[in-house]
Structure 1
Amino acid sequence: MAATGQEEDDIDHYEVLCLPSGEEGAALTIEQIEKSYRTQSRLRHPDKRPDDPNATADFQRLSSSYKLLRDESLRRQFDARLRARREAASRAAAAGVKRRKAVSDLEERERAAATGQPTDPGEVARREAKRKAADIQRELDEFRAAKQAAASGAASTSGHGDKKGGAPQDGVKTDKGKILKVSWDGSADSYTAAKLEELFQKFGKVEDIVIKTSKSRSRGSAIVVMGTKEAALLAIQNHFFLFPLTVAPVQESGGLPARSTQTHESRTSNVDGTGFSDLEASVFRKLQEAQKRKQSG
């Protein structure tokens, strides 16, 4: 008897009558159920299926399902059982998905433990951001060390005079014929040392470039030291190729700005050595980008 009851519980009476089941079946009217029963009884009557040994049992099941669905009380009970059956199946499916995911995660962790590599996407991203930040910091430290060494060398040269025997003075002694004063409309940021070097290399070797920091936003200036007096003279004679830059020789009172009397911090804030400006900007930009990625992660 128990087996028969269990078998009855598994029957979907809507499906027996070839009707939609679930919520759609619960919304069917008695007229729709009767119409489907009449159609199915004509098609599945045992007299129409003399060679089918299951025809009688099938027709009896059709009649039984029709009687149950016509009874409003029995139909409500069946709809409730059907709904509970669907919910149980849904929970079982969800539990199966969770079990499969748990097994997959466990296997992934075991593989990670064997290889020593993290598998959590967040942890992987954090390690990558930390690695990039360390690389950028190392690059920045190397840059600062190189710049400090270059500044220390310039200060030493200033303290002992030039190679021609000049006495120590406030400025760096050099051949004034090689020094050019360059100015332009706009702020000091309008031209970098690298850009000026690129322009003046057309006339000969460039030994040094010093961009002066000015509070004025309407005009910028720099000192360009050419490799020879001939190169400096060539740049003056062909200054129209450098428009809108203005190029002029340094006056007797001119010279390179004093470096020996300045601290390292003041030199880095007021002197833009050739090649340093663009590298410094690049390094700091990378550092800022890495910091932003770390914060967003």
Structure 2
Amino acid sequence: MGQEEEDVDHYEVLCLPSGEEGAALSLEQIEKAYRTQSRLRHPDKRPDDPNATADFQRLASSYKLLRDESLRRQFDARLRGRREAAARAAASGVKRRKAVSDLEERERAFAAGQPVDATEAARREDKRKAADVKRELEEFFASKQSAASGTASTPVHGAPQDAQKTDKGKILKVSWEGGADYYTAAKLEEIFKQFGEVEDVVIKTRKSRSRGSAIVVMSSKEAARSALQNHSVYNVFSVPLIVVPVEESSGVPARPTQTPETRTSNIGGTGFSDLEASVFRKLQEAQKRKQSG
């Protein structure tokens, strides 16, 4: 079995929930989903889509696997293994990122000749996150206004709306690690439209190539809530999604609907060791300067 086939989530192909929810689905539910998707995705219904035949064949192949009790148990076991491996990697990554953050905070405190206050550091971090969300929302609204007036703007997938009338309760902030270009606007729309109509998707441009983010506008608050409540859907992808609501642009973002363990780390190996050594060295130099001053 090739790596590409190994990465296929057969539940996702049939637009079904995956993970533990998928394993609990009955054969009747799987058959119903297959019949529905067959009607929607049959090549005769998409004569202008060059990928229609391949997509329909993949649909049939996934259905064939899931209806086979033995093959389905093996597939469910592979999915559990993937999730457990991601959780272990993420747990290690969270500890490393916290270590880097703590070291950098101590370095700044030593440089300023001030003691490190953990509470103050946490407050500043919350303020920074809130500022990031506010900036991204301002850029998002600006892009929608530009699109509505016909002027050039950041590409927006979906019909332009009046930014001033957009209900923040319908807006979701989506992020992922493992490649900024992994998700496109079309792919995100395909994922989120299972919870309701998607009005807009804006991919954010970042300097980092390892982390991506986007703003997704649902057609209603109910659709946005559904997208947040069904967070298990985002854990089945090889690059998991982190989805949070954006109720107020000036507030601190809500915690992700995913557990922190599902996030993967892009800090590790020699790179992290070099950074750690560098920060410790700077701390020691700053302490020597302080003692000799």
TM-score, structure 2 normalization: 0.38
Higher RCO (C-alpha under 8 Å, 6+ residues apart): 2
